[in-house]
Amino acid sequence: MKFLADENLEYSIISFLRERDIDVIAVRDILKGVPDAEIINYAFQNNLIIITSDKDFGELTFRLRKPNHGIVLMRIAEDIPEEKADLLCKSLQKLGDKVMNKFVVVEKNSIRVRSIF
């Protein structure tokens, strides 16, 4: 699985994931400043799962029906990027392939998974 990290995800989190052999591309490296609709289209065309803290991807997925291969929404209030990165990494490892075609909400004490289709 490959991931596309939205611009709102701290770069230290992206580095943390890469150090643990999670294949992640940073939006700020390839699509800096583009609208969310373009990000979701790019991710779909390139078979990428989006990692974001932006709730707008829920609207794009469920209300506007934008096709995608999965969204991981980080809803963690922690200010410490290392803690957020560790929680995200553990969540991704726990879920494995179950993030494909799912809308996953990662919170400090829970993970919610909802089918996109």
Q: Which pLDDT tens digit goes with each residue over 8-60? A: 999 999 999 999 999 999 999 999 999 999 999 999 999 999 999 999 999 99
Tally of domains within the chain: 1
Of 6, 13, 8, 11, the residue nearest 68 (C-alpha): 6
Q: Which pLDDT tens digit goes with each residue over 67-113? A: 999 999 999 876 788 888 999 999 999 999 999 999 999 998 899 99
Tell me the longest C-alpha to C-alpha distance in the chain. 35
Q: What is the CATH number of the domain that holds 44?
A: 3.40.50
pLDDT value, residue 75: 92
Report the distance separating Cα 56 and Cα 2, nearest Å: 21
Expressed as residue numbers, the domain containing 73 is 2-115
List phi, psi (to 5°) of 69: -100, 0
